[in-house]
Chain A
Amino acid sequence: MSYLSSTHIYPIIVENVKLLDRYVGKKPANGSLYLTATHLIYMEASGAARKETWIALHHIATVEKLSITSLGCPLILRCKNFRVAHFVLESDVVCHEVYISLLKLSQPALHEDLYAFSYNPKSSKEMRENGWKLIDPISDFGRMGLPNRYWTITDANRNYEICSTYPPDIVVPKSVTLGTVVGSSKFRSKERVPVLSYLYKENNAAICRCSQPLSGFYTRCIDDELLLEAISQTNPGSQFMYVVDTRPKLNAMANRAAGKGYEKEDNYSNIRFRFMGIENIHVMRSSLQKLLEGTGISPGEFLSGLESSGWLRHIKAIMDAGIFIAKAVKVEKTNVLVHCSDGWDRTAQVCSVASILLDPFYRTFKGLMVREQPIPNSVIPDVNHCLSLPLFASLRCGHLDGDSKEVSPIFTQFLDCIWQLMEQFPCAFEFNENFLLEIHDHVFSCQFGNFLGNCQKDREDLRIYEKTHSVWPFLVQRKPDFRNPLYKGFTVYGVLNPSTLSHPFLQQAQGLSCFASPCIADIISISLAMEILTTRPPGNSLSLIGKSHLAMVYNPLNMLLHSVGYYIVEDFCIYIHKAY
């Protein structure tokens, strides 16, 4: 912890704090609240198990101080991992003090104040460096068979001259000159020129990505047209190439007035243009907001809340787009170029979903890490994530105190999509739901450097590789916890062909976003699980209870599961209270 931030930390200990259950009738727990530099810890005073609740400060999304009641001063914390904690403090003055401290601590203004820069897990420098090398994205390009006859890996962007948000190394068609690439980049929003994201080795069909063209109503760019033509020719087996604009058509048309827009089929040879109708980050943000608010008491209220939030509709739109691309690549054997506005939110989601559908490798631990790996060492293998995830990291996840309009649950949606696939294909993924939850947690926890900064350049500027640790070794260590026991191995499922009906999507109610639900959030906390499992003996891990896939984890969780019985019992006190 840097000196700057520690100035407003007075290791606060507050006694006699109640942690409220949302059930009115239940007697609240009594305990002490410890505010440390990195966590807010609540320890129950009574009870044999001495229940502890740990909340990482970076997880806190909002702090709300309600007016004083007969119980005391309520303080409500809402976390980015959807946990809600409702404390009641005795004194108004102390409550205000805690409130102010939490406000300051939960959203530091500078990158240097993030937990990752002070986190020290007692590992040597060498181990740390090896940690960053654990995931080698270059090999992923190698795995796809790159470079090959048609594609080349170039370090043309080494000084971030072509595009500041791309990694130094990009994959472009061999047949084009650097001039063409640079020329095309001038014609694309934020200079995000079309580059390869994934190559389906079996039939040479490629998924490429870029940002929207600056076409306006009439503008053309010869270099851009040449580049697309060249991309199309990398796949001699196909007569045409899809250009997929993931936005709704209306949004794309509106962009034309601002000098941006989409490709005209007439200007490019042999392209087929498609809109996908995925909404923008602002719609997604308010969708999540509504989802979190809309938890009714009755199934009817819950379902109508779910419906009006539109969350599942958006998830399905992303999945549908991913499925379309995967089918185009696998069945029609054709190249696909994907973009949205800036090509780093929807494009990233959709390309990633498509690659997971196409390639069993991405359904393994290693593959998912590569897919999500935002910080490649030297060569940028996976444009998808190298370019996209980082962006979520700081802007979209709201790590720093900044513009709340840029925050959006893009990454949460991506994990939800994977979760939906896991529900439909229980044996196709090497990892389980907990792995997704863990990653989701770390995206917000800022404990590791992987998800900090918005792009490769940012991360180099922040010296993330020198100053912070990588999350992957930490997760690899705990692989046994994250293993899906039903996984049938690499070769059993090739290309996944999920259902595109609306029906199966209902299951979301128990998925990632379900942690919005007070029911489960009260009983378990993901961050608690993390803390308990890393710092405490596993006997305490009550917090894993309630996740939907426990059925699949056979032996180790046997005991845990039965404790659900004990735990949920408390919920039912309400019946008796209502009844008598």
Chain B
Amino acid sequence: MEFSELIRTGQAQAELLRGPEMPPLRGTLCVTGHHLLLSPGPQATPDLWLLLLRSVDSIEKRVAGDAGTITLRCKDLRVLQLDIEGVEATLDIARSIEALSSLESVITSFPFFYRPKGLRLGESWHFHPPERYYKRVARETRAWRLSEANEDFSLCPSYPRAVIVPRTVDDDALARSARFRQGGRFPVLSYYHAPSGTVLLRSSQPLTGPQKRRCAEDEELLQAVLAGARPGARGFIVDTRSAQAAKQARMTGGGTEAKSAYPGWKRLHRPLERGRPLQESFVHLVEACGDLEQSMDRWLSRLDGCHWLSHVKAALSTACLAAQGMEWEGACILVHGAEGTDSTLLVTSLAQLILDPLSRTMAGFQELIEREWIQAGHPFQLRCAHSAFSHTRPKHEAPIFLLFLDCVWQLGRQFPLSLEFGEGMLLALFDHSYASPFGTFLCNSEKERCLCEVRTRTHSLWSGLNQPKEQRKLRNPLYAPNPLAIWPSVEPQSLRLWQGLFLRWTHPPEPSEVAWEKVWQIATDQEKTEGSQPTDSASEPQP
């Protein structure tokens, strides 16, 4: 293995401190190509402690006397301390971890080597392609078709091979519309809301530029959307930038839809934070959560100062606006910001969770993430390269997917029975999006995934999560299907800090784990006593 040159030392004796409530582990420390291993001495339990090197966010070393200390801050916000015997060994191990944890190559990453028992390669990869969603849409309406215009990723490198577009628009028009949109992301269907017959679309910004260019095909496409919905239908363009920012984007070739060019469509600006400010908010929040000695006032003012909850509120409000436009106003909604790969996806996916009961099931939620995040071209590799502890200056990192998970968590807290998955699922998705043995979150787009052959050479996270043994952790035992839209309250007192994530490693886990077990127990007992047909949701995990 080519990693061998990066590994400077075979092994060392070390003690591992895993946090306030956990007992320390002693044993032999060993660095391999993808993992840090600690095997306890023969007298202890034979269990191996294992850490994926990819999940190390930052590393700090200190030496004193003939021993050293390495502090590992992980992408899942855990902080680990290793006390290692020998100065040389400490420095070598630190350097090895540093080198191995920051490897950029995708095809040498662990998912390409991970071969767990009980899973077959290629399994679950076919679960969630756009074709599957199109079948759902086609059952309801004839106004849309599945276009394979992007078969070779030439129209849009960040779209999947097949996209859903208005039936009356042909592939040539799509190609022209793609040239008029940043990154080729022309408007495509994101969600069809059957009760009102309206649709949710997403795209990137139009390239109007300072001359206010127009594109006839792009305009026709949006007209076709309205015509396909119902006669006289209106549309709203939700721009996730401020009006000011949208105007400024013209200087760099971007811009926004001119009112006169798109009759029937009205533009609304809902600025959402993205990019560096969002990353900084995340970093400050994690810093505040890590400071255990602060007073109450200091804690509250830091929580306030990092603005994280404001971002949660803004995201949920905008998603509600989009959802409400469809459900109440019977309007079609197009969402875009600039690139259309970040806050756009945040809004469209949250709006679906609010409106669509199917997306709140375990399978539906997985499909939603696959369709609206992974295949829709959210650049996971760039955005999740580093988490909150990295010392390097953030380039493309932004916790936009985490923000989505936080919003889902808020939904789940306000509607405890309406989501089939529990907090465990959201935590797992957070962990895996930053570092994972599975290939699902690798790369930035479908095109890259094809080039790297991710589908055939790595395992899908979904097949990992859908194993029966994982269900008790991931599912919500209280789930009862709710056919209604779930409108969250976005009042500041209704939004809470996601303690299960941000304080996961500083809190003793025991009381909440006991509570979770108890909830399961009650739920299962309830089913037994009721004796009536047990719903497939709670008792039998889906294959």
Contacts and interface: CB of A to CB of B under 8 A. Distances in A.
A550 B478 CA distance: 11
Q: Kindly name the residue among A297, A503, A558 whose own CB sees the greatest number of chain B CB atoms within 10 A.
A: A503
Contacts of B499: 503-504, 506-507
A501 B515 CA distance: 21
Contacts of B482: 562, 565
B526 interface: yes
B307 A554 contact: no
Interface in A333-389: none
Nearest to A514: B493
A488 B493 contact: no
Contact of B296 (A300, A313, A558): A313
Interface stretch (B11-19, B145-153, B413-421): B413-421
Interface stretch (B31-39, B251-259, B455-463, B504-512): B504-512
A566 interface: yes
B493 to A, nearest CB: 4
Given A299-B309, A499-B508, A506-B496, A576 B487 contact: no
Q: Kindly name the residue among A303, A424, A428, A550 whose own CB sees the greatest number of chain B CB atoms within 10 A.
A: A303
Nearest to B308: A299
A298 interface: yes
Contacts of B491: 517, 519
B80 to A, nearest CB: 20
B329 interface: yes
Contacts of A501: 292, 506
Contacts of A296: 492
A502 B487 contact: no
Interface stretch (A39-47, A304-312, A398-406): A304-312
A566 B417 CA distance: 15
A316 interface: yes
A24 interface: no
B273 to A, nearest CB: 13
A510 interface: yes
B294 interface: yes
Interface size class of A (residues with CB under 8 A): 35 or more
Interface stretch (B191-199, B219-227, B313-321): B313-321
A572 B508 contact: no
Contact of B295 (A297, A313, A506): A313
B304 A565 contact: no
A555 B294 contact: no
A338 B67 CA distance: 48
A509 B496 contact: yes
B2 interface: no
Contact of B303 (A506, A555, A565, A571): A506
Nearest to A314: B296
Nearest to B477: A554
A568 interface: yes
Contacts of B486: 565
Nearest to B299: A502
A146 interface: no
Given A299-B313, A551-B416, A554-B478, A502 B296 contact: yes
B294 A571 contact: no
Contacts of B488: 568
B507 A554 contact: no
B484 A566 contact: yes
Contact of B324 (A426, A502, A509, A572): A572
Interface string A548-577: 001110110010011011101101100110
B320 A575 contact: yes
Interface in B305-357: 307, 309-310, 312-313, 317, 320-321, 324-325, 328-329
B507 A504 contact: yes
B506 A519 contact: no
B296 A316 contact: yes
A298 B299 contact: no
Interface in B127-177: none
Nearest to A549: B416
Given A310-B297, A555-B526, A572-B487, A510 B496 contact: yes
A299 B518 contact: no
Contacts of B300: 303-304, 306-307, 312, 502, 506
A313 B297 contact: yes
The 9 closest A-B pairs by CB, nearest first: A302-B492, A551-B416, A303-B304, A299-B309, A307-B300, A426-B515, A519-B491, A502-B299, A313-B296
Interface of B: 236, 266, 268, 289, 292, 294-301, 303-304, 307, 309-310, 312-313, 317, 320-321, 324-325, 328-329, 413-418, 478, 480, 482, 484-489, 491-497, 499, 503, 506-508, 511-512, 514-515, 518-519, 522-523, 526
Interface of A: 295-304, 306-307, 310, 312-313, 316, 424-428, 485-486, 488, 499, 501-507, 509-510, 514, 517, 519-520, 550-552, 554-555, 558, 561-562, 564-566, 568-569, 571-572, 575-576, 579-580
18 contacts: A299-B304, A300-B309, A302-B493, A303-B309, A307-B304, A312-B296, A312-B300, A425-B511, A426-B511, A502-B294, A504-B499, A519-B489, A519-B491, A561-B415, A562-B418, A565-B485, A576-B325, A579-B236
